[in-house]
Structure 1
Amino acid sequence: MTQFQIFIIRAILGAVFAVVLSRLFYPDANLIYVAGLGVILVGLAYFAEYLRNKKKQQP
């Protein structure tokens, strides 16, 4: 898989989970906040990948 395909998958999953989480905990949340939560979730996915790769490179 290319990096772009991985990004698309993460963006779609981030959007889906953002909608589910926001509707579950804050049903009257604004669309801007839901989009922000999606961006945060995708960013956290990349941060977790960075930490995982960093841990693999250590001897």
Structure 2
Amino acid sequence: MADRYDAGAVAWATGDIPVLITTIILAIQWVRSDRREARRVGRRSAVWGGGHSRWRRRWP
């Protein structure tokens, strides 16, 4: 019975480890994408006047 337990553990780990790695990679990409978007929105806000009037450009 112990050999079946060990075989089950190996089968579970080999199936679960790739899912864990993929999840970590996707989470990292998601955080990076969110940071890029936040910088882009911040730059746009600085150029276009801060958010009250979205289409009126603020000239320095």
Query: Which structure has the larger Rg over C-alpha atoms?
Result: 2
Return the TM-score normalized by structure 1.
0.50
Bigger share in helix: 1
Larger relative contact order (Cα-Cα within 8 Å, sequence gap ≥ 6): 1
